[in-house]
Every structure is written in C-alpha cells, then in structure tokens.
Structure 1
Amino acid sequence: MNPRERRAARHQPPNPEAEAASRPRRRKAPITVEQVIDTALGVIATEGYEALTMRRLAGALDTGPASLYAHVVNKSDLDELLIGRLCAELVLPEPDPAAWQEQIRGVCAQLRDQYLKYPGISRAALAMAPTDRETLRVGEGLLAVLLAGGISPQAAAWAVDALLLYVAAYCLEVSIARRRAAHDDDAWVLDRDELQRRLTALPAATFPHTIRHAAELTAGEGHERFDFTLGVMVGGLVGR
C-alpha cells in the first residue's frame, strides 16, 4: 500500500478482515511510520516545531528525504499523524450531564499539556481538516459531552471547533513566548514588572484605563488565563 492509499485508508471505517488479509503481504521496511512519528516528535521536543522539515527528519532517521515518502505523503500528512498521536493520549470521559463543564475543561487541559510537551506543534493543528481517527475521536468525545449537557447540536458543533482552536492558539503563543524568553534581548516580554512600567508610562489622557488597571492586565500565574477563558467559553454555552 503506497502512502496515499494508506492515508485514504485512515479515513475509512475499520475493516478487520481486510486488515488481517493484508498482514502477510506487509513489506518489512527498515523504517516504520511509528518510527517516523517518534523521531519527528523527538526533533520537535528538542528543537521546536519550526525545525521539523522532511530533510531534518530524514537526517535524524539517517536516511534520505525521498525514503520518507514511502511512509508519509507530505509534510501535511506528517502533521496529521503527529496531532493524531497526541490525541491518542487523551482520556475521554463518559458524558455526565451533571459535570459536563468540568469534563470539557478537563479534556482541553489534557490537550494543552500534550501540545506544550512539543514546542510549537499546535501550529500543525491550525487549519487542519480533522480526518485522522484519533483526532476525530477527540472531537466525538467533546461533542458527546456537550450534547449530554443539553447544548444544541449546532452550538455544540461550533463550540468543539472554537475550543480546539483556542487550545491550539494558546499553546502556540506559550511556545513562542518561551522561545523568546530563552534569548536575553526578549526576556522583558515575560517580565511583569517591566511590562507594568511600560503600561503605566503611557500618556494618561489617551490610556487612562490601561494605566489604572495595569496590574490586572498583566496578572495571571501558570494557566490561570487559560482556565479563565475556557470558563467563559463553556459558561457561555449554558442555555443555548
């Protein structure tokens, strides 16, 4: 099965009989798709998502770029496999109408933690059509929880998209900020005192509220802002 056929097969319902019949004909290759994914995640963990190219990945696997295309169609296909691997690690709850808001926040927090293990990888999830089964499994799980909570199907469907988009964007921003903080010239970006000083030094006639509430604008430890935003998003669904 060539890479395009393999990718297409991931989008089809499972067919155990066909899979069993194909096993004896499976070619024993020195590099497997799982090895490609493992190595790609290793590169991202140490160098960041932006460092991951097909050429860089081939070097890490001690092979040529052309040989990778025996396992993945292109970089977009690789991105889909990477996000699918991270989604496979998520534990989805049994929908509970009495605890649906907590369940939604819990799944989003799990995804956040997976993304942040691999700096910048959430960029791969942006504008991605969800077709990988593991990625779809997460969407299915979130949808089931929202529906159990009494959210209308249309609102629930759009909420899943919005929640996943926010988690990806949040993690991308955190990854960028952490990378900048690693350079002395950019350290002030995460220095709250310096940021407050800059805000309070603005012209009072033009920025009265910014100056007055500089502490609130720069507040937040750890993932407090993430938790706040999820609470606003999920809470806004009540009654819809």
Structure 2
Amino acid sequence: MASDPRRRRAARHAQADAGVAVAVRKAPITVERITDAALQVVAEQGYDALTIRSVTNVLGTGPSSLYAHIVNKADIDDLLVGRLCAQIVLPAPDPARWREQIRDVYGQLRDQYLKYPGISRAALAMVPTNLEALRVAEGIFSILLAAGIEPQAAAWGMDTLSLYVAGYALETSLVRQRQKAEDETWVSSPEELATRFSALPEATFPNTRKHVTELTSGTGHQRFDFALGLLIDNLAPAPAAG
C-alpha cells in the first residue's frame, strides 16, 4: 500500500533541507569568504571587533581553517584594503585635469572607508601587498607623474594624501560611533560648539570668540576637500627646463 502522500512530501522536504544544511557546512573556506566575513564583522560591529575569532565565528569554523589561507590578522587587513580598492575607478592620466583626477580618486577611497566603521585603520602603518591596492597606488602615481611632478615629490605626496584620507575616515567613524553612545554626551554639534566658544572669557580667548563662525563652519566633507586641496596644490609640477 502506498504511504500517505503528505508523509512522502514531508520526507522529501526533510531530505532537501538536510542536503542544503550539509552543503552549507561543507562550503570550503576561501580567501573570498574570509574577506566577506571580515567585512561583515566590521560593518556590524566596527573594526575594533575584527579578530581571527570573530571571523571564524561568522564562518562557523575554527582558526586552523583560516590559517590555511592567511598568516595572521595583518593578512586580513591587507585583504580588506584590497577589496575596497577593487571598487576604485581609475581615470587615464590627463595632465590638464590631474588635480581633479586626484581629488576624485581619493574621494572614492574616502567613501569606501566610510562604509565600514573604522576600517581605514587597516590601511595605516602597513605596506600594501594586495594587487588591487597596488593598482590604485600605481594609478595615483601615474596621474602625478603625468602632471610633471618629480617622482620623489609624487611618491611622498601620494603617501601624505593617503595618510590624510585614512585619518579623516577614521576620525569620522569614531565621531559617528561616539554620537550613537548614550554616555558620550561630550560630542558636540557645531551649534553647541559655537555657543560654548561664544561664552568663553573674551580677555583670554579674543580670537576664538571673534571668529566663532569660521571655527565651527563647514561640513566634514567640505573640510576634507579644503585640506585635500592644500596638499594637492603644494604638489607643483617641476618647472620646465630652459
């Protein structure tokens, strides 16, 4: 006698669900999956929460599975920076538009950093080895060289610009994080700062009181563009020989 159709259907579903579960458990650990998991940790908990253990927790595996693909936590940092750099669109160097091009590339990098709280720390105090990070560095260097900037100035200028962008993104991420914390009430808005500066003793802080508007004006990105402009404008092309 044939069994109850509903039981047969339930059995089929159970087998299918078990097959999916086994497939998920047996999915191989790869560099791509490690990078995805690390980004998930940073997106959900911030860069400070990124450890070998937190990545393995996302992947549902143990540290030994990661060490088959990476050497240490610095390797994960390199992978993260490479993944972000893979999103950067590089222009063909144009000497007539080199300042605009540099601003655009670093603006893209800033925006990538800001998607993940504190992730720009991964780019600080390290020499990138990821091919995508090196691709972006090559692109920036090429723009500066095409503009006629001496190689030494271009190299150090690129380093300075990269450091500023990473630092700006890190500070912005920290401020956003502190603004979300209930016990971090000391993080003031521009309006609150203006009120506090205006209330300072004039005899001691005459210039601060006089220029409250200038000291508290501008959005973060406006100040970013201003500072980036200062750095770029000091990378003047070498004077023509003759």
Q: TM-score, normalised by structure 2?
A: 0.84
Q: Which of these residues, 143, 162, 165, is aligned with residue 163 of structure 2?
A: 165
What one-letter code is carried by the residue in structure 2 that aligns with 1:167?
A: V
Distance of 2:185 and 2:121 partners within structure 1 = 23
Whether 2:103 is the aligned partner of 1:105: answer yes
Identical residues among aligned pairs (%): 61
Other-structure match for 2:67: 69
Aligned match for 2:178, one of 174, 177, 180: 180
The one-letter amino acid of 2:142's match is: A
2:126 equivalent in structure 1: 128
The total of aligned residue pairs comes to 213
Q: Mean Cα displacement is larger for which, 36-45 or 196-205?
A: 196-205
Return the offset for 1:66.
Answer: 2.5
**Does the residue aligned with 2:60 lie in a helix, a strand or coil?**
coil
> What does residue 94 of structure 2 align with?
96
* Counterparts of 2:188 and 2:141, CA distance in 1: 36
CA contact (8 A) 2:77 2:122 kept: yes
- Tell me what 1:115 maps to: 113
Distance in 1 separating the partners of 2:187 and 2:49: 23
Q: What is the distance in 2 between the residues matched to 1:187 and 1:42?
A: 28
Aligned counterpart for 2:140 among listed residues 139, 142, 167: 142
Given that 1:39 and 1:61 are in contact with CA atoms closer than 8 Å, whether structure 2 keeps it comes out as yes
Structure 2 CA distance, aligned partners of 1:44 and 1:149?
A: 37
The one-letter amino acid paired with 2:109 is L
Contact 2:42-2:117 within 8 A present in 1 as well? yes
Q: Distance in 2 between matches of 1:204 and 1:231?
A: 33
Structure 1 residue 222 displacement after superposition: 4.6
**What SS is found at the alignment partner of 2:122?**
helix
Contact 1:100 1:149 in 2 (8 A): yes
1:116 partner amino acid: L
| Counterparts of 1:139 and 1:187, CA distance in 2 | 39
Q: Which runs of 4+ in 1 moved over 3 A?
A: none
| Partners of 1:188 and 1:195 within 8 A in 2 | no
Q: Secondary structure at the match of 1:99?
A: helix
1:16 corresponds to: none
- What are the within-5 Å matches in structure 2 for residues 41-56 of structure 1? 41-56=39-54
Looking at structure 2, the residues matched to 50 and 132 of structure 1 have their Cα atoms a distance apart, in angstroms, of 22
1:60 paired with 2:58, answer yes
Q: Secondary structure at the match of 2:184?
A: helix
- SS of equivalent to 2:183: helix
TM-score normalised to structure 1 length: 0.85
For 2:180 and 2:32, how far apart are their aligned partners in 1? 31
Question: Does 157-166 or 213-222 show the bigger shift?
Answer: 213-222
